[in-house]
Amino acid sequence: MRVFHRIVGAVDLSESSRYVKSWAEGLARTLGDAVDYVGVFPKFPDIYMTVLGWNRQFLDNINRAKTEMFQSMSRRFGRDGSRVHELEGIPDETIARFAEDRRASLIVMGFRGAGKSRIPIGSTALGVIRKSSKNVLLVNSEFSPPKRIAVTHSFKPTDKKALLIASAMAKSFGATLYRIHVIDSHFYGLIPEDLKAELKFEIEMELSKSVPGVETVPVVLDGDVPMELAHWSAKNDMDLVVFGSEPNRIGLAIQEFLMQTVNNVLVCRGL
């Protein structure tokens, strides 16, 4: 089943770029089309160039670093006929604009994940999510066909986009789909005790609605939303966690989740 019609893999010389290659090509084989890799050499701030732009050694150093970066990326990602696009600019803006120009439906990026680094997710990945209208997949492990996919429900319009893509992926890979809602602790504390069980039951019934061809499991939690989602997803070994989001923005709950999770994450904007 064709879910993503063109995939962009954002790569650099970091270790996480091998995960980008693994996932981009793994998804393309089953769900998508061609993969375009894009590498961005960062643009120096104008004030740097005002002071240093005349210096021959500085310019030579820039050109040498740029050449080495692009040659290395071509060797790593340009095999098997894949195209590596060599660009220069502000990384998040350049990646988002490139995906728009290519009419891609998915951007794949690497991130470290909680516990692997003091900064689990970099500013470039967050910037791409904020500045792009495309689906963005953040990965920190080698690709294997996902068998346990979690999709979050906040009972907002964006849920439909996330459920549609998560269901299509689950069906293609034969995965179990876990539909999750977390009752925020701020609301949960205000609910009379005798109604809490009834509320959870009603939400569970809503999440139990069948998706044709997909095994579905409802999950209802309560507490701090990003913390509970991160804890539950890690404890239950989710291969992928799917969120719905409006284009060109990232909600606070998703951002906080990304700072705490060890799982691969897909932020959905639609097919």
pLDDT of 116 above 60: no
Do residue 4 and residue 131 come from a single domain?
Answer: yes
Mean pLDDT of 48-67: 81
Structural domain harbouring 25 = 1-141
Do residue 115 and residue 247 come from a single domain?
Answer: no
Do residue 128 and residue 42 come from a single domain?
Answer: yes
Q: Decide which of 85, 116, 141 is a domain's last residue.
A: 141
> Which CATH number fits the domain that encloses residue 195?
3.40.50.620
Angle at 233 between CA 204 and CA 11, to 5 degrees: 130
Mean pLDDT of 115-123: 57
Total count of domains within the chain: 2
Q: Identify the band that residue 108 occupies on the pLDDT scale cut at 50, 70 and 90.
A: very high
| Other CB atoms within 10 Å distance of the CB of residue 34 | 14
pLDDT of 237 above 80: yes
Do residue 260 and residue 153 come from a single domain?
Answer: yes
pLDDT tens sequence across 144-184: 999 999 999 999 999 999 999 999 999 999 999 999 999 99
Mean pLDDT of 196-207: 94
**For residues 149 and 46, what is the distance between their CA atoms, to the nearest angstrom?**
44
66-73 long-range contacts, CB within 8 A, separation 24+: 66/41, 69/12, 69/13, 69/39, 69/41, 70/39, 70/41, 72/13, 73/11, 73/12, 73/13, 73/37, 73/39
Do residue 186 and residue 80 come from a single domain?
Answer: no
The residue behind tokens 């999950």 is 219
Do residue 156 and residue 129 come from a single domain?
Answer: no
Q: Decide which of 106, 126, 141 is a domain's last residue.
A: 141
In this prediction, residue 118 carries a pLDDT of: 46
Do residue 91 and residue 9 come from a single domain?
Answer: yes
Q: Identify the band that residue 112 occupies on the pLDDT scale cut at 50, 70 and 90.
A: confident
Do residue 117 and residue 156 come from a single domain?
Answer: no
pLDDT of 4 above 50: yes
In this prediction, residue 189 carries a pLDDT of: 85
Q: Decide which of 87, 107, 141 is a domain's last residue.
A: 141
**For residues 11 and 52, what is the distance between their CA atoms, to the nearest angstrom?**
28
pLDDT above 90: percentage of residues in the chain:
66
Do residue 32 and residue 149 come from a single domain?
Answer: no
Mean pLDDT of 98-122: 77
| Average pLDDT along the chain | 90
pLDDT of 194 above 90: no
Q: pTM here?
A: 0.91
**For residues 42 and 168, what is the distance between their CA atoms, to the nearest angstrom?**
36
Do residue 4 and residue 136 come from a single domain?
Answer: yes
**Which of 85-99, 103-117, 251-265 has the lowest average pLDDT?**
103-117
Residue type, 257: F
Do residue 10 and residue 132 come from a single domain?
Answer: yes
Do residue 158 and residue 270 come from a single domain?
Answer: yes
**Which of 107-121, 148-162, 225-239 has the lowest average pLDDT?**
107-121
Q: Identify the band that residue 115 occupies on the pLDDT scale cut at 50, 70 and 90.
A: very low
